Structure 1
Amino acid sequence: MKEFLRCTFGGLKTSYLIRQYIFGVLIAAFYFNAATSNGQVLSLGTMAMFAINTLLYPYSRFVYESIVEFVLGENTFYVNAILMLIVKAITMVICWGAAIFIAPLGLAYIYYHQMKTQS
């Protein structure tokens, strides 16, 4: 079990994980602030979902970025910076919100890749 966890959750670079966790925490804080701004208390289930999505966000984002890299390849696009930032923010929020569904694909790929390189 320890080997499985090391191969899956330890498969991404530390700098990438830290960067994505910072964004994940910021997204969670935004949603937490929005949900509690009218004095409402969040349920334990909602807070657990926030925590799970935040922990799995880097792996969800890894899947998204891998798909985009596969589709676009080495092409470079020149677009309006504001439009690009808006689209990037939207994709980040989608990846965070769906992390519980998307991240297992990334974790499975990372595990497969790690086991393949070890043997």
Structure 2
Amino acid sequence: MSALFWRTFGGLGPACYFRHFFFGLMFPVLMYFGNKDNLYPPGWQAYAYSVVSTLLYPYSRFVYEAVAGFVFGRNVFFVNGGVLLFAKFVTMLACWVFAVFVAPVGLLYLYVRTDAD
């Protein structure tokens, strides 16, 4: 079981994981401050989903970057900085919201790739 865990979750690399994890923390913080003074705060399910999504976000982002790299290749796009930041925020939000569904694909790939090494 330990080998399965490390081959799957350890395949991303600590620097990459913590970088994406740091940016993934932005959404639960926004959720907390957005609902802090709410008369009807979200239930424990929303907070549990937030924790799971934050932990799986780096793997979801890994899948997104792999797909985007395949689609766009090594092309460079020149766009307005505001547009770029908005697009990055939207893709980060989508990766965080759907991390529960997308991250297993990345975990499976990391398991297979690490197994082959």
Q: With the length of structure 1 as denominator, give the TM-score of the two structures.
A: 0.93
User: How far off its partner does 1:95 sit?
Assistant: 0.5
- Partner in structure 2 of residue 97 of structure 1: 97
Aligned residue pairs, count: 117
The answer to whether the Cα contact below 8 Å between 1:36 and 1:42 also exists between their aligned partners in 2 is no
- Partner in structure 1 of residue 54 of structure 2: 54
The answer to whether the Cα contact below 8 Å between 1:57 and 1:103 also exists between their aligned partners in 2 is yes
CA distance in 2, matches of 1:70, 1:37: 43
User: How far off its partner does 1:14 sit?
Assistant: 1.1
User: How far off its partner does 1:39 sit?
Assistant: 3.6
SS in 1 for 2:56: helix
1:1-119 equivalences in 2 (<5 Å): 1-117=1-117
CA distance in 1, matches of 2:36, 2:49: 15
Structure 2 unpaired stretches of 5+? none
Structure 1 unpaired stretches of 5+? none
CA distance in 2, matches of 1:37, 1:59: 32
User: How far off its partner does 1:40 sit?
Assistant: 2.9
SS in 2 for 1:102: helix
Aligned alpha-carbon RMSD (Å): 1.1
User: How far off its partner does 1:33 sit?
Assistant: 1.9
User: How far off its partner does 1:26 sit?
Assistant: 1.3
Q: Identity percentage over the alignment?
A: 38
